[in-house]
Amino acid sequence: MPHSLGCLWVVVVVLWMTAFTPVTAQYLTDAQVSVVGQRLAEGASHRRVLPLQISRLSDHDLAAGSTARALKFFWIPPPQQIPPNLTGALSDVFSIAHTIVANRSISNGNVTGPQPLIQDSSAGDPASIGVAVLLANWTGQSASDGLDYAGAARDQLQFLLQKAPKTPDGAISHRLDQVQLWSDSVYMVPPFLAYYGVTTDNLTLLQEAYTQISLYRTYLRDASANNLWKHIQLGSYGTDNGHWSTGNAWAAAGMIRVLGTIQRSRFAGSLQQQQEDLASWIQEIHGGMYQHQDPSGLFYNYADNKSTFLDASSTALLASTVYRLSLLSGVHTHLPEAEFARKRLSSPNGTSGLLHFTPDGWLTPVADPYAYPFQGQDSPEGEAFVISMQAAWRDWVAAGAVGVNVASRTMDMTASAYVLSALMVAFNVVLCFVQM
């Protein structure tokens, strides 16, 4: 290689390293999170986004720096008398539950018996709203509005168990008109089953939540891809054997919720093996995903397919599950990668804004939540995922940032490697131009 070309190559390396040097630690301010929450609320009318709005209220508004408080309300039954300081945060959750139950007869054609909370082409998505309905029932909201929350939740449960299509071994279909399994469904159905089990003191339903996850894992886990999950299997509409990043994050997040519910229930001692399995399966997804983390900190829309676009939505949701797993099970393995992703998503853009948010607070770049193979513009899902990440990180910090030394050592080693490499490149730059 001629010296001039060699020098040009070294300069290129220097510029590349500068572009990807780890950034200073960043976090979203309360004001920034508030803006993200406003964008989420604006888009929270769609059936897939309602459970995320509920999740945002549980994860962030109720947590207030305390993991125990959020878990008390959304992962195990809360006190039936709501403390005055939490009525404001819960009012939005109860409003969603009220609207859903009040409109149920109209949307379902006044049918009785097993039925979903809302009409939808998905058998699984309506169940995701059920946690809000169960909470409204538990706290006696029917006394003030006369709605039958218990009946609505029971009908949804019976619909899943008796009416929804299933595989021969019992996996509840994500679609309503045929048996088809989507990774998304692990977030939609098992958390509802688990919470129903705890609020009704029903060990069988907690076990069923675990069983549904186990069945989905059997069909969707791709051992040949380091345990990444395929997106869609079975059915006549066509499968998706690709490893959709958001689908993997959905699955991990659903497992986290079931794990937290079991762990803090009175049945925890009876379900020790199930807890160990769930924690292990979440780690499987983490291990498969984070080996494909881009130097930008983000994942591609399909984790192992760099021809797809970078996606901040899945990056945020998966990071939230790393912090939650650290808190729930003491697993800190992927804290460095989660911290790197969170800091990147919170990075300034060099002016007065943020690198991965539009001026009005929309996360970017994101997958279109209604057409997942394509890049979207405004994603309410992405907004919810950011809030979940921020809340999980805040709770992790409030609990003492357990495992932070793992992250720090890894980051320090990374920084040292960058410094050493930079010195070597600088030496070569000098030597190169001296020889010219």
As a whole number of angstroms, the distance between CA 103 and CA 92 comes to 17
User: Is pLDDT of 429 > 70?
Assistant: no
pLDDT value of position 8 = 37
- Residues 292-302: tens digit of each pLDDT: 999 999 999 99
Q: Check residues 23 and 44 and name the one with the higher pLDDT.
A: 44
Nearest to 239 by CA among 183, 172, 168, 300: 183
As a whole number of angstroms, the distance between CA 410 and CA 2 comes to 38
User: Is pLDDT of 412 > 60?
Assistant: no
Tokens read off for 273? 């093996």
Tokens read off for 299? 């994942």
User: Is pLDDT of 102 > 60?
Assistant: yes
Q: Check residues 308 and 428 and name the one with the higher pLDDT.
A: 308
Cα distances (Å, whole numbers) of residue 344 to 201, 230, 312, 370: 43, 27, 10, 26
Q: Residue 338: what are its φ and ψ, rounded to 5°?
A: -65, -40
3-state secondary structure of 2: coil
Residue 172 pairs in a beta bridge with 166
Nearest to 281 by CA among 186, 192, 390: 186
CB 245 within 8 A of CB 319: no
User: Is pLDDT of 19 > 80?
Assistant: no
- Read off the pLDDT band of 51 (50, 70, 90): low
Average pLDDT, the chain: 82
pLDDT value of position 108 = 67
Query: The whole model's pTM is what?
Result: 0.84
Q: Which amino acid, one-letter code, is at 25?
A: A
- Residues 172-215: tens digit of each pLDDT: 999 999 999 999 999 999 999 999 999 999 999 999 999 999 99
3-state secondary structure of 367: strand
Cβ atoms within 10 Å, residue 273: 9
Residue 228 DSSP symbol: E
As a whole number of angstroms, the distance between CA 387 and CA 180 comes to 30
User: Is pLDDT of 58 > 90?
Assistant: no
pLDDT value of position 174 = 96
Q: Residue 240: what are its φ and ψ, rounded to 5°?
A: -130, 100
Q: What is the pLDDT averaged over residues 93-122?
A: 85
User: Is pLDDT of 105 > 90?
Assistant: no
User: Is pLDDT of 9 > 80?
Assistant: no
Write out 238-275 in H/E/C secondary structure: CCECCCEHHHHHHHHHHHHHHHHHHHCCCCHHHHHHHH
| Lowest-confidence segment of 81-90, 196-205, 251-260, 414-423 by average pLDDT | 414-423
Run of H or E residues at 180? none
CB 180 within 8 A of CB 234: yes
User: Is pLDDT of 18 > 80?
Assistant: no
Q: What is the pLDDT averaged over residues 131-140?
A: 91
Looking at the chain, the whole-number percentage of residues with pLDDT higher than 90 is 59
Length of the chain: 436
Q: Check residues 374 and 410 and name the one with the higher pLDDT.
A: 374
- Strand 366-368 with 371-376, pairing: antiparallel
Residue 221 DSSP symbol: E
Q: What are the helix (H) ranges across 164-225?
A: 185-188, 190-199, 203-220
3-state secondary structure of 363: strand
CB 212 within 8 A of CB 206: no
- Residues 210-257: tens digit of each pLDDT: 999 999 999 999 999 999 999 999 999 899 999 999 999 999 999 999
Nearest to 229 by CA among 214, 244, 239, 215: 244
CB 332 within 8 A of CB 338: no
CB 203 within 8 A of CB 197: yes
Tokens read off for 337? 């990668």
Q: Which amino acid, one-letter code, is at 129?
A: I
CB 187 within 8 A of CB 257: yes
- Residues 334-392: tens digit of each pLDDT: 999 999 999 999 999 877 789 999 999 999 999 998 899 999 988 888 988 998 899 89
User: Is pLDDT of 53 > 70?
Assistant: no
| Lowest-confidence segment of 53-62, 213-222, 405-414, 417-426 by average pLDDT | 417-426
The CA-based dihedral angle spanning residues 59, 60, 62, 64, taken in that order and rounded to the nearest 10 degrees: 120
Q: Check residues 307 and 19 and name the one with the higher pLDDT.
A: 307
Looking at the chain, the whole-number percentage of residues with pLDDT higher than 70 is 77
User: Is pLDDT of 25 > 60?
Assistant: no
